[in-house]
Every structure is written in structure tokens, then in C-alpha cells.
Amino acid sequence: MSDPETTRPPSGRPGGRTHSRPRPGRAPGAIGIAPVRGDSVDWRGSVELNTAHCTIVVVDVEGFGRYSRTNPNKLRVRSGMYRAIERAFATAGIPWAGCRHADLGDGVLVLAPAEISKTLFADLLLGALADELIVHNATHPAQERIRLRLALHAGEVTYDDHGVTGSAILHAERLLDAPALKRELANSAAILAVIASGWFFDEVIRHSEDSRAGAYRPVDVGGGERPATAWIRLLAARAVRWRHKG
């Protein structure tokens, strides 16, 4: 499967909201759908897609909504999650400010532009994130300790005035919700469970000598419209500390 052509996403506000440059003759934010006139909509116009290739990272907290967690617990978990992710990005040499991020309540969606090397995500980010979770968990009670699920994918992302969408994002989110990934984490002492799409594993992870490709195992995440294979890796709480090279 070939890598889609690379284009830097349009600039946007923090938190994942994206605004496109207005095209001549169009109102700011318009994407080719005729405006509402009264109670009717003219659907004869075509939709002009504003797309860019991105590395997609989706993260969520295991058991975030469990009853034993109070709202103050949840706030500290969210704060710890963001701190761990941002510090891990810095350690891996991935500019957090150069990515787009959308809050998911119990997790976060991160879109990295194509010019950021995907090997940084495979080689450095995961170990750095496990290390940051260890630091957080060492200073918090059980209700505020964090175990994460993380999905890695890449593909075309579509932008409009409301945010982002696209089949690549939906696929990453389905991977994150895969029952196999949830079972693997629940039945282990791991602190981080990673699931990489078939594309990301085949094109990035298996070609890197620093990605620990042998630690991944294939799982069937098919069902629905078409079969799919993904790759799962568990990182234990005794993860080896990774350092950014250079």
C-alpha cells in the first residue's frame, strides 16, 4: 500500500479546530456546500475536500469512567495524561505545538503533519510515554493511576470549519476500541498497550531496527465491512528508558 501524497495541514486553533483559507468567491470556512436559505438546502453543489496526509495517534485511559473515580480523580488523571503525552513527545523529538490535538474526554486525538518522521513515533514515543506514566503513577493513589491504550495509523485527513474527519481517523479509533487490545491490557500488568494498523506496521515499524518490531504480534480486527490485521505491543511498567538521539 503506497503512502498517500504529503501535504501540510492548514493552520488551526489549539484543540484540533481547523480553519481553511477562504477560496475566491467563498465565505471563510466554506467547503463547497451551498448555504442554508430559509428552511431548504441546495444539495446540487459538490463538496470540495480539503485533505492532508497525517500520522494519527489516538489515546485513551483504561477505565476512565469507573465508579471508584471521583470527578477530582478524573481531572488529575486527565492532567497526568496530557503531561505524560506532551513530555513523551518532547523526549521523542516530536513538536507537540506542530501537531493538532482534539480532546476526547477520556483521551486525545493527535494529528502530526507528514513532514514529521513516522519513525519517531515507532522508535521513541512509546517507551518515553511508558516512562512518563511510571513517573505519574508513582506519585498518585490507585484511583488516579493511568494505563493507556494507544493506536498508531497514518492516512488522509479531511478538514472543514468544524474540525477533522476521514476514514483514516475512523480506522484508528476502531483500532483503539478493538476488543483484542482491551483484553490484552486488562489481562496484563502493562502500563501501555499499543495497536498499530497493518499499514503503519508494514511501512514503518518493521523496517526500523529501533522499533522492537519483534515485540508486536498480529491480531484480527476484522468484522464489519472488510477484514483487517493490526499489530499489538504491550509495554510493562518496568519499561527501559528511551532517549532521543541527537
Residues with Cβ within 8 Å of 5's Cβ and at least 6 positions away in sequence, in order, are 53
pLDDT of amino acid 94: 97
Cα 214 to Cα 43, 196, 202, 211, distances in angstroms: 51, 13, 13, 9
**How many domains are contained in the chain?**
1
Cα 153 to Cα 53, 62, 112, 166, 198, distances in angstroms: 11, 20, 11, 12, 8
Does the residue 131 lie in any domain? yes
Output the tens digit of pLDDT for each of the chain's 246 residues: 444 444 444 444 333 433 334 334 333 333 233 333 444 445 555 667 788 999 999 999 999 999 999 999 999 999 999 999 999 999 999 999 999 999 999 999 999 999 999 999 999 999 999 999 999 999 999 999 999 999 999 999 999 888 899 999 999 999 999 999 999 999 999 999 999 999 999 999 999 999 999 999 999 987 666 668 999 999 997 644 444 333
pLDDT of amino acid 224: 61
Cα 91 to Cα 84, 126, 157, 230, distances in angstroms: 10, 10, 26, 26
Residues with Cβ within 8 Å of 213's Cβ and at least 6 positions away in sequence, in order, are 201, 205, 206
pLDDT of amino acid 163: 87
pLDDT of amino acid 237: 76
| Domain, as residue range, for 208 | 48-236
What predicted TM-score, i.e. pTM, was given to this entire model? Answer: 0.78
Does the residue 4 lie in any domain? no
pLDDT of amino acid 96: 96
Residues with Cβ within 8 Å of 2's Cβ and at least 6 positions away in sequence, in order, are none
CATH number of the domain to which 227 belongs: 3.30.70.1230
Does the residue 207 lie in any domain? yes
Q: What is the pLDDT of residues 95-154, one digit of tens each?
A: 999 999 999 999 999 999 999 999 999 999 999 999 999 999 999 999 999 999 999 999
Q: Which conformational region is residue 123 in: left (phi greater than 0), alpha (psi within -120 to 50 degrees), or beta?
A: alpha
Judge whether 239 and 215 are in contact, CB under 8 Å. no
Does the residue 241 lie in any domain? no
Does the residue 110 lie in any domain? yes
Does the residue 136 lie in any domain? yes
pLDDT of amino acid 117: 97
Does the residue 154 lie in any domain? yes
pLDDT of amino acid 115: 96
SS (H, E, C) 197-221: EHHHHHHCHHHCCCCCHHHCEEEEC
Judge whether 175 and 151 are in contact, CB under 8 Å. yes
DSSP symbol at 143: G
Does the residue 41 lie in any domain? no
